[in-house]
Amino acid sequence: MLRCSLSATAAFLAATAIGLGHPVWALMSALIVSQESLAETHRSLGGRILGTVLGAATAVAVHAGFRGAGLDAMAVQVAVITAACAVIARERPAIRVCMWTGPLVLLTATPETPIGATALHRGGEVILGGLVAAGLHGAIERAARPVLERARAEDQEAGRPG
């Protein structure tokens, strides 16, 4: 509970301090990456980073392709991005975040901001949140280790199962 709350809050504050436009994605990513064990959190983070980069890159490529072809239909672009990412993520569920990162990039883009910049910002928010969560998880686990080891030693001395 404490780890998730701290991760979400720290990710939101970090994204806000940096000036990222949608810090909610950092907060969400921190909560999604946080798992029961540090090893699971690191596995989740790896898939999240790879999937985020893949989804953002797919959004940029599809958008550029459609703009060059004179096809601006947002719904069609979302469908193509999602389908392309789903095909890739089908065999690698850990990167399925690509299926929503691509549309997220496309749907938060504005006419005055190039799609590549939007992809960097949304991707940055998502990755920042994951990194904050993994970093805090590791720091909390390291800080708690001596306390847990002391409790185990006391249990063993008292003959209690540990």
For the segment 110-136, what is each residue's pLDDT rounded down to a tens digit? 989 999 999 999 999 999 999 999 999
Name the more confident of 107 and 148.
107
| pLDDT value at residue 162 | 57
Full-model pTM:
0.84
- pLDDT tier for residue 101 given thresholds of 50, 70 and 90: very high
Please state which of the ranges 9-18, 52-61, 65-74, 96-105 shows the lowest mean pLDDT.
65-74
Residue in the structure block whose two tokens are 């990412």: 85
Give the model confidence (pLDDT) of 32-89 as tens digits. Answer: 998 888 889 899 999 999 999 999 999 999 999 988 777 778 899 999 999 999 999 9
Q: What percentage of residues in the chain have a pLDDT greater than 70? A: 99
* CA 150 to chain centroid: 35
What CA–CA distance (Å, rounded) separates 18 from 125? Answer: 10
79, 101, 35, 12 alpha-carbon torsion, rounded to 10°: -140
> Burial, 56: exposed, middle or buried (Cβ in 10 Å; 0-12, 13-18, 19+)?
buried
Contact (Cβ atoms closer than 8 angstroms) between residue 42 and residue 145? no
